[in-house]
Structure 1
Amino acid sequence: MEIIKDRFLIFHKGVEFKVEDILKGKFSGRTIAYGDIISVLIKLDSESLNILTEGKHSFKIESDLVSNLIISFELDETNMNLKFDPKNT
């Protein structure tokens, strides 16, 4: 869990949350409307980055503190090597 706390940033309506913030309840009370975008920014080391090639990927985060989370995504030429702008979240 400590590794995840340091590597994940969550953005909703331009506001940044760390996993620690969510565990402390700072995300509670926010309205997530249909069509809202929640962006998850993951800091990767070079070894992990080499694994994320084009194609489908998924990983599971298991914790006793929050519900287990499965993240699935697909990388292709349209969504790789992009600059992240939190103002667009």
Structure 2
Amino acid sequence: MFKFRNGLNSIDWVRPPPHCSSLSQPGPAQGIRGHKRRLSVQAPTNCAHRENFFTNRVIREWNSLAEAAISASTVNQFKNSLDAWK
């Protein structure tokens, strides 16, 4: 997701994943926590295949990352931040 969000790889999205509104987060303090580049997961449908879409598999992990990892300027900085976060 890092490469797509920073323009290192490109995808011709039919519908790009929407940014997550801070008001749509569950819980009392979820609107003020997390980084500013959060994305929304597609709503579940009757189609079981949609659960395996790339965006639905990685967005929860992406939203849980630390701000330092998200705001990295290079792929290596992102990987190092990701290793430190885990």
Larger helix share, 1 or 2 = 2
Larger strand share, 1 or 2 = 1
Normalised to the residue count of structure 1, the TM-score between the two structures is 0.23
Normalised to the residue count of structure 2, the TM-score between the two structures is 0.24
